[in-house]
Amino acid sequence: MYTIIDVETTGQGNKITEISIFKYDGTQIIDEFTSLVNPEAYIPEYITTLTGIDNAMVAKAPTFAEIAKDILAITENTIFVAHSVNFDYNVIRSEFKDIGIDFKRKKLCTVRLSRKLIPGHASYSLGKICTALSIDINGRHRARGDAEATVILFEILLKAENSEKVFNDFLKPSSKEATLPPHLPSAVFNAIPNKAGIYYFKNKKGKVIYVGKAKDLKKRVLSHFYNKTTKELNLCRETVDIDFELSGSELVALLMEDAAIKEYFPEYNLVSKRNTKAFGITMFEDRNGIIHLAYNTLKATPNPLFIFYSITDCRAFLERLCSQFELCPKYCHLQDGVAQCSHYKIKTCHGICNEKESTNLYNDRVRNAVKLTLEKSKDLVIKEKGRHEEEEAFVLIKNNVYLGYGFIDKSEQITNNEALEHHLILQNDNVDVQKILRSQLLTILN
């Protein structure tokens, strides 16, 4: 038993304004439920232009809560069918969730079924596939008109060659057919590996509309299809292809993602809200001649030694510097308002804070700590996992400038950093990349 369903919504927020349900036994329609719905939200003018449903029409219509029992009753023990089923299903399920009901039904998508059973059409949108198959739609973009046309399309699909096997395959619990975007071939999704990298969602014109990164590409891509936000629903409806690149590690994936977003400017990637509040670590001498290491906002830190983009990273960096070079937490400004240091984690201070160590000896150790750390971070090769077992990845920083990343076979003999440059994929340095790489300064002290 099937229920073939269409909903109209407010657009933003996707509150239902009209719903139509045809109960179909595989041969004929045996029941119907159609109703306008008061969305208890404003219907924008562009939605009214598209559907003809305005705020006045739904003012006295029942709310979803008032018709929920009717919807539950007609869809009980049926397979939920719709054109681009995830949209209608997720909208209805969200409405039920708002009133405390968990709505679950098996699903079939007439877009995906059409692509499988009647291939070769230029478009599988409801309007165009109905035109191609000579199906009249009496009331386009109205719930009843679209649902009734979907019933006729569904009948054609049921009678198509090999339909029984296709329907059964689609309904298997292990099948992702009802979860995938309507226009995305299952073979494309199945080809995505459970490895680290970046992925590109593309529309029907081949344009990149979203870029993401993941430690597990398949798992992350699949999570988009379960997400019920308006943005994700719209993204999935536009997606017809997904491409990917392996990175081997999360760090390289972050760098690849940043470069790809700046190359394609995908419409579904939120413009990064840059944390312009950077912090600098500086060195100064107090009136007693003791050298301090301290952090402050970058604006208040002339000639910073190191730059970070969070106070947490500043403190973590100074803690590691203290531990490795046996500096005083008090004079590294990890403790304020204390006569002498008593840091819970760092116990290696030689006593500069209680006059047990000479100022000259302490200052020499501070200068040495800064010098060695600057030298290490100036030219840095960060080694990462490769895309497969026989490969390593690397990230190259030279003269404090990010040059890019690369991949190299483990069997190849590399004797110096210059040799790495033959394998380098050149990239641009920028503020966002520096944010990603600043955390690596914490690791060079290990």
Under 8 Å CB-to-CB from 390, ≥6 apart: which residues?
409, 410, 411
- Separation CA 53–CA 141 (nearest Å): 10
- Phi and psi angles of residue 54, each rounded to the nearest 5 degrees, phi first: -115, 180
- Separation CA 5–CA 87 (nearest Å): 11
5: which 2 tokens? Answer: 């369903």
- Separation CA 147–CA 142 (nearest Å): 8
Lowest mean pLDDT among 1-10, 79-88, 212-221, 406-415: 406-415
∠ CA 338-344-349, rounded to 5°: 70
Q: At what angle do helices 143-159 and 163-171 cross, to 10 degrees?
A: 120
For domain 2-171, give the CATH number.
3.30.420.10
∠ CA 105-168-81, rounded to 5°: 40
- Separation CA 15–CA 55 (nearest Å): 13
According to DSSP, residue 17 is labeled: E
Taken in order 149, 151, 157, 159, is the CA torsion positive or negative? negative
Mean pLDDT, residues 57-64: 96
> Mind telling me the catalytic residues?
141
Q: Report which listed range, 55-69, 323-337, 344-358, is most confident.
A: 55-69
Note the helical H segments in 18-142. Answer: 45-51, 55-58, 64-75, 85-98, 110-117, 126-132
Characterize the bridge pairing of strands 241-246 and 401-409: unpaired
Distances (CA, A) of 399 to 105, 207, 377, 396: 59, 37, 8, 10
Over pLDDT 90: what percentage of the chain?
68
- Separation CA 443–CA 446 (nearest Å): 6
Amino acid type, 231? K
- Separation CA 276–CA 18 (nearest Å): 46
pLDDT tens digits for 280-335?
Answer: 899 999 999 999 999 999 889 888 888 888 888 889 899 989 999 999 999 999 98
Determine whether 326 is exposed, middle or buried from the number of CB atoms within 10 Å of its CB (0-12, 13-18, 19+).
Answer: middle
| 39 close to 16: Cβ distance less than 8 angstroms | yes
Mean pLDDT, residues 53-59: 96
CATH, domain 186-264, list 3.30.420.40, 1.10.510.10, 3.40.1440.10, 3.30.70.20: 3.40.1440.10
pLDDT of residue 341: 87
User: Of 260, 251, 254, which is closest to residue 383 (Cα–Cα)?
Assistant: 251
pLDDT of residue 299: 87
Torsion-angle region of residue 287: left (phi > 0), alpha (psi -120 to 50) or beta?
A: alpha
pLDDT tens digits for 17-34?
Answer: 999 999 999 999 999 999
Report the Cα 366 to chain-centroid distance in Å: 42
pLDDT of residue 381: 86
Note the helical H segments in 99-162. Answer: 110-117, 126-132, 143-159
Note the helical H segments in 227-358. Answer: 230-238, 250-264, 311-325
- Separation CA 175–CA 262 (nearest Å): 36
- Separation CA 349–CA 11 (nearest Å): 62
> Number of helices (H) and strands (E), helices first, in the chain?
16, 15
Residue scoring higher pLDDT (341 or 33): 33
351: which 2 tokens? Answer: 């006593």
Q: Which residues pair with residue 193 across a beta bridge?
A: none
Lowest mean pLDDT among 81-90, 174-183, 262-271: 174-183
pLDDT of residue 410: 86
Under 8 Å CB-to-CB from 400, ≥6 apart: which residues?
377, 378
pLDDT of residue 442: 65
Q: Name the residue ranges covered by the structural domains of the chain.
A: 2-171, 186-264, 279-376, 380-443
pLDDT at 228 over 80: no
Question: Which residue is associated with the tokens 């030219």?
Answer: 379
177: which 2 tokens? Answer: 């057919």
pLDDT at 438 over 80: no
∠ CA 89-222-166, rounded to 5°: 65
- Phi and psi angles of residue 177, each rounded to the nearest 5 degrees, phi first: -60, -40
Q: Quick count: other Cβ atoms within 10 Å of Cβ 333? A: 16
pLDDT of residue 273: 47
